[in-house]
């Protein structure tokens, strides 16, 4: 029983940990030399970032409908807008720099729209995490407090850190830690509630 609880919590940490690993391989600067890998890496990342939204969706399951519904809408919208960032500032920008053998004004325009999509996505990610942190504290009380602090704090850092080394990698580790702690607190609270119901 205890093992399954820890495995459940660990599953919610996997997306953040995976992205932290990719952050170690993410080029710090986009130039002619890094452009092919920059574009290819963001193709790989396209299905990975939405896994953060999947974890949010799952963590919102025990929340009351008034919190769960807007939280899940925000999680879905995060995946959509942040996927746009990867497609534009990742795949497109890398492809343009590679084709033009260097950074040109065109790349600046590509990054401008990509950054806008990324900021909208990050804001939605923060909103969903604030809602799920609220729901977790409501359900699990003080047990959810550590995760309810760590996850929103890391989500704020996500606004401008992406997964770039070093801050982006630590941001992803913070997101993984926050989701792990909230999932563990929720599952512990659920098991206690079921146990109390059984003994009545």
The answer, as to whether pTM is greater than 0.85, is: yes
Task: Give residue 173's pLDDT.
Answer: 98
Q: What is the chain's pLDDT, residue by residue, as a tens digit (200 residues)?
A: 566 888 999 999 999 999 999 999 999 999 999 999 999 999 999 999 999 999 999 999 999 999 999 999 999 999 999 999 999 999 999 999 999 999 999 999 999 999 999 999 999 999 999 999 999 999 888 999 999 999 999 999 999 999 999 999 999 999 999 999 999 999 887 666 555 554 45
**C-alpha–C-alpha distance, residues 122 and 190, integer Å:** 30
SS3 state at 49? coil
> What's the full length of the chain, in residues?
200
**C-alpha–C-alpha distance, residues 68 and 136, integer Å:** 11
């Amino acid at each position: 029983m205890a093992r399954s609880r820890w495995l459940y919590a660990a599953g919610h940490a996997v997306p953040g940990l995976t992205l932290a690993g990719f952050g170690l391989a993410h080029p710090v600067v986009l130039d002619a030399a890094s452009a092919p890998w920059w574009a290819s890496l963001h193709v790989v990342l396209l299905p990975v970032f939405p896994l953060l939204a999947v974890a949010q969706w799952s963590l919102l399951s025990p929340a009351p409908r008034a919190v769960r519904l807007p939280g899940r809408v925000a999680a879905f919208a995060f995946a959509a807008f942040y996927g746009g960032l990867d497609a534009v500032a990742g795949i497109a920008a890398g492809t343009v720099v590679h084709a033009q053998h260097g950074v040109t004004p065109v790349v600046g325009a590509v990054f401008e729209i990509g950054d806008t999509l990324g900021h909208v996505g990050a804001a939605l990610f923060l909103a969903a995490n604030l809602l799920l942190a609220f729901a977790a504290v409501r359900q699990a009380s003080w047990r959810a407090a550590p995760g309810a602090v760590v996850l929103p704090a890391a989500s704020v850092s996500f606004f401008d850190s992406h997964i770039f080394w070093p801050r982006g990698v630590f941001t992803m580790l913070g997101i993984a830690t926050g989701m792990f702690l909230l999932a563990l607190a929720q599952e512990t609270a659920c098991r206690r509630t079921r146990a109390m119901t059984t003994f009545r």
